[in-house]
Structure 1
């Protein structure tokens, strides 16, 4: 999806400014955007992100590209969470359902982003290159993003709008492991009485939440947790996609519709998440969890899975 990094040093900022100046002076010579660059206009103002400030990931039909403008800290984020393989083509950035979510977002300071799949939003992302062999992605985009809450978490009388136009990115490096599994991350759980240690565990922050996703490669299982990025230590109800704290279990990661969540589609049987260590500065979480996973789609078997003894220690 990853939301949301520390501001770079003065040296990096100066380097970025030099690159931008060079890029602008060469724009008359070629219409092709340099590799690893994302540019757009936000409400008519130029936005440029370069180098390590542009990151793209694709894993399990989840695509995310996050671009940060070094000089301002502002971000453009686009996410595609599909039910099938993502490839070249055009995607509507207003989709929001239990099975799929496509969105564009504009973030000013990591709080309460403008999003395109809210009421009044619109937009499209066109992927012109999606090269999994060479790990490169290119495309164009535009969207109107909306928010109903300001930076201080106050409800707005009228929604605010950010219009992103003329968006383009070229040959951005595409990671297929969410930036690579962190070897220090751990997650284990008991599923229907069988103990599992998940061997690929990642954490990332995006659009106001921290997502923990854990796979067992040889058993094709996945457990994911979604936690607000302003959380504290304590015990919380773990629910489905409508809850603030979310949990899911997938017994077969080759089938993206095989998603089971606490309480299923209705969400009337929440699980429990106990956060024992919350270090938002150093981006580290530890905790335990348990829930009864029920189907959220009628297209998969109507069975339940008991997830118990869950524990994790994750950097994100």
Structure 2
């Protein structure tokens, strides 16, 4: 059960945090209460092994589609510059890329943007504007920026994946200060997956596009209470400006201390509210302090 979170977080420390602030309630979001006419799926063959991703988030922001899936130690992110049906090729400016984040004790980040002669192709087959679901495929080569190792992705398929968009729907909200600089998410959602018979939950707040995000991870079903960040059962991460022009390892900060307070879980309105603070460390031992964190996450 703990393999996912143990692999994601490599450093752990615990402190006590007791403050709790009452959060304002969000209106129920009908987007998450709809029953899809056909089941949603997201999968790909990675070096000939098939992965069916079970934590799936898809957001449209400023014209970009950001589709993210998690399966065990693998996270895959597909980005296109449009939802319009068509074929999109990788270009090295943050658009039309496919990236894989692999956590097997040592973090590996592979992206089609790192390949000298990119051959990644993302195809949007259809977009249902009424139900806001998207179907398509992708395939091509991704490369680790540091080791230059490559991975072939084939038979990438996403079917009837729900696409979130504001302001017509409630996408939730996350705010914080990162080393004193204000952070505000474009969306904040709580997703869950079954792993070895247990439920793993994640609260994800990302800024416009895919450049910055804060993630809170629980190795259990989310419930109210105060939870110390230990890197195993309770984890936190800060992703800072990941791009092909920088060393991505330096832009991933793992929480080493802090806590999360879940003040409200409303399964009817599909809302989770709370606060958080944590200190995080990257591969070069640079630190950031995330303070005054608040989340009003919509349960997906």
- How high is the TM-score relative to the length of structure 1? 0.47
Larger radius of gyration: 1
- How high is the TM-score relative to the length of structure 2? 0.49
Q: Which has the higher contact order (CA 8 A, sep 6+)?
A: 2
